[in-house]
Amino acid sequence: MIGTAHQIVLPVVLPLLAAFLLPLVGRLHVWPARLLGQIVGVLHLAVVAYLWTLVGGGETIVSALGGFAPPLGIVLYADRLSVLFLLVLSVGILLFWPRREHGGTRADTLTLLLLGGGSGLVLSGDLFNIFVFYEIVAVASYGLAASGGNAAGFGAALRYLLLSALGSALALLGIALVYGAAGTLNLADLSVLAPERLSGPMGLAAFLLLVLGFGVKAELFPVNTWVPEVYTAAPTRVTAILAGVVSKLSMVVILRLLVLIFADPGAQTLLLVLGLAGVIAGELAAFRAPDLNRTFAFSSIAQLGLVAVAFSIPDDLGIAAGIAVAVHHAVVKPGLFVIAGHWTGPIERLGGAARVSRPAAIAFVLLSLSIIGIPPFPGFWVKLLLLGEAFAAVDPVYALAGAVILAATVVEAAYLFRAAALMWEPPEGDNRPPAAFPLARLAPTLVLTLLILLAMGAVSPLGEALEAMAAEVGDAAIYVGNVLPGRI
C-alpha cells in the first residue's frame, strides 16, 4: 500500500523555514519570533499526528521529491517506525521548549533546526541525505550544548564537536565505500544490490565506519565520551532532548542500515559487541557516578547499548524489543534528567529530598522502578521482551548477552534504589536538604510519569502494535517494494 501524501515534507520544511526566519523577525521584536517558533512546533506535532492517521494502519508514504523517480531522485519514506519517532521528537521538543528569552531567539532557532533536521533524519530514504540531516542535527546540538553560557558548557561543546565531526567524517568515508562498491545511495536500491556487492569485508568496513559515525549521537561505545561532560554542563532541557530524542533518531538510522543493507551476521555481531560494551561500561560507571546527572548520563549509555543489542538480534521481535527500549527510554530519561538538573551535587546530599518536594521524589521512584524493570511498570515488559528474544535466539552468544543484561539490571537497581532510599531519609548530620522543587520546573517530569502510568494499562495493545511495526520494518522486501515497485 503506497500513498503519496506530500504533507510528508512539512515536518522537515516548516521548522527549517522558521529557523531561518526567526533571527530576522527577532531583530525587530523578540516576542513575535518566539511565538512563531512555538506555533511551528505545535504545527509540526499536528502534521505528525495527521501522518500517523495515514500510516497507522500499515500503509506507507513514499514521496519522490521534485518528481524525480528513485533510484536517481531523492525519496522521503514514512512508515509507522518513522512516524513514531517523529512523534517522539515532536513531543520531546515541545515539552522542553526554551522557556525564557535569554540571548534573544538563539535557543529557539537551534531547537527548530534540531526539529527539522531530526525529522529529515528519520524520513530520508537516501544515504547522503541522511548524512546531511545528521549534520544539521549535529550543528544544532553543538550550539544547544553551549547555550548555558557557562564555562564548562563551552568546553564540553567543543570536545563534543571535535568527536562528532570526526565521526561524521568517518561516516562520510563509509558512504564513499558504499558508493564505490554499489554505485548508488538510495537505500532501497542499495538493499537490492547489497547481497552481491556489499557482503564481503568491504561491506563490514563500511558498516563499521557508518556505525562509528552515527553512533556518536546514539551514544554507542566507544564514541560516547562526550556524554557525561555535555549532560552535566548543558542546560537541563538540552540534556533531556539529546538523551531522550536525538540519540534515538540515530538509532533508527542504524536500524534501517542494518536491516536494509548490512543484514549479515558480521554486522550483527559488530553491533552486538558495541552494544554490550556500552551496557557494561555504562552501568558500572553509573554505579560509581558522584551525582545524579552523571548517573543518568552513564545509565543512558547503557540503555542505548540495550537498544543496539536488541537490534542486533536477527529476528523481527528483536527489532520490536529495540524499539520498545528506545521509546521507553525516550519517555523515562528526560523526566529523570529534569530531577537531576535541579538536585545537583553529590548523591549523599539527597537526604531529605522527599520531605522538601514529595511529587519530585515520587516521580523519581516511579520512573526509576520502570527503568530497572519492576512489574507492573512498562519497563518490565520491555526488558522481558528483550531478554526473551535474547535467550530464544539461535546463536548462543545472545544467551550470554542476556546474562550480561540481567547482571547489569542488578547493578542498575543497586544505584537507583540507593538514591531513592536516600531521598526518604532525613538529611545526614547538619547538611541542609536539597532545594525545593518549583512545580513549573517539575511539570515535564510529571507529564512523562503520567504517560508511563497510562502505558501500564495498555501494555497488550501496545505490544501488538509494536510487533506489527517490527514485522514491517524488519522486512527489507517491503521497503524495496514500496520505493522501487517492480525491482523485487
Partner 1 sequence: MTDAMLLAEALGDVLYTGAIGLILLGLYAMVVPRHLVRIVLGLLLVQSGVNLFLVAVGYRPEAAAPILLGGQAIGPVVDPLPQALVLTAIVIGVGVLALALALVVRVKDVHGTLDSREVAERMAAETGDSRLMPETAPGRGAAVPAREMLEDRS
Binding region for partner 1 (CB under 8 A) out of 80-88, 229-237, 246-254, 471-479? 229-237
337 by Cβ neighbours in 10 Å (0-12 / 13-18 / 19+) ranks as buried
- Whichever of 356 and 465 has its CB closer to partner 1, that residue is 356
Would you call 2 helix, strand, or coil by DSSP? strand
Which window, 35-43, 50-58, 244-252, 340-348, contacts partner 1 (CB under 8 A)? 340-348
Does 100 help bind partner 1 (rule: CB under 8 A)?
yes
* Interaction pattern, residues 414-453, with partner 1; x per rule: CB under 8 A: -----------------xx-x-------------------
CA separation for the pair 449, 43 (Å, rounded): 25
Length of the chain: 488
Q: How far, in Å, CA of 461 to CA of 472, rounded?
A: 17
- Segment interacting with partner 1 (CB under 8 A) among 173-181, 199-207, 353-361, 477-485: 173-181
Residue window 235-254: x/- pattern of binding to partner 1, with contact defined by CB under 8 A? xxx-----------------
Of 144, 110, 141, 137, which is closest to residue 121 (Cα–Cα)? 137
Rounded Cα distance, 135 and 132, in Å: 5
Interface with partner 1 includes 223 (CB under 8 A)? Answer: no
- What does DSSP say about strands 2-3 and 60-64: parallel, antiparallel, or unpaired? parallel
Q: Pick the binder of partner 1 from 60, 141, 232, 482 (CB under 8 A).
A: 232
Min dist CB 231 to partner 1, Å, is: 10
- 179 part of the interface to partner 1, by CB under 8 A: yes
Q: CA 152, 148, 231 angle in degrees (round to 5)?
A: 60
Q: Select the span of 20-28, 77-85, 97-105, 407-415 touching partner 1 (CB under 8 A).
A: 97-105
According to CB under 8 A, which residues from 138 to 167 bind partner 1?
138-139, 142-143, 146-159, 161-162, 165-166
Q: Interface with partner 1 by CB under 8 A: which range of 19-27, 128-136, 307-315, 361-369?
A: 128-136
Q: What share of the chain is helix, strand, coil (3-state, %, to 5)?
A: 75, 5, 20
Q: How far, in Å, CA of 124 to CA of 187, rounded?
A: 9
Q: Determine, following the binding rule CB under 8 A, whether residue 110 of this chain makes contact with partner 1.
A: no
Question: Which of 344, 391, 418, 451 is in the footprint of partner 1 by CB under 8 A?
Answer: 344
Q: Residue 126 forms beta bridges with which residues?
A: 186
Question: Minimal CA–CA distance to 23: which of 95, 109, 91, 99?
Answer: 109
Does the protein bind partner 1 through residue 176 (CB under 8 A)?
yes
DSSP string covering 187-208:
HHHHHHHHHHHSSSHHHHHHHH
Q: Is 52 a binder of partner 1 (CB under 8 A)? A: no
**Largest alpha-carbon pair distance within the chain?**
75
The cell 536500524 sits on which residue?
A: 255
Q: Is 169 in the site for partner 1 (CB under 8 A)?
A: yes
Question: Contact residues for partner 1 (CB under 8 A)?
Answer: 99-100, 102-103, 107, 128, 132, 135, 138-139, 142-143, 146-159, 161-162, 165-166, 168-170, 172-173, 175-176, 179-180, 185, 229, 232-233, 235-237, 290-291, 293, 341-346, 349, 431-432, 434
